Amino acid sequence: MADMTSSAGTPVPVDSLSYEQARDELIRVVSVLEQGASTLEESLALWERGETLATRCEEWLIGAKARLDAARGAAAAE
């Protein structure tokens, strides 16, 4: 699973991630949090990143549903 960091080592902006990239990074974040090996500060940063990633995934899914609904509406109108 690819780590979503830039060449400078900073996290890639979540709003630039595809659904699959955000989902994969969210899975990684959850896995790291479940292992519990991080410091409190690292855990909080991971939690915040995970919340942002989950929101990004939800945005992608809402957008996909809207596109499907629009396509279905167009097909029904024909």
What angle do helix axes 40-77 and 19-35 make, rounded to 10 degrees?
150
- pTM metric for this prediction: 0.80
Name residue 5's beta-bridge partners: 11
Q: Per residue in 15-63, pLDDT tens?
A: 999 999 999 999 999 999 999 978 999 999 999 999 999 999 999 999 9
Cα dihedral 42, 52, 18, 15 sign: negative
At 8 the pLDDT is: 64
At 38 the pLDDT is: 81
Q: Answer yes or no: is pLDDT of 7 > 80.
A: no
Domains with residue ranges and CATH for the chain: 18-77 (1.10.287)
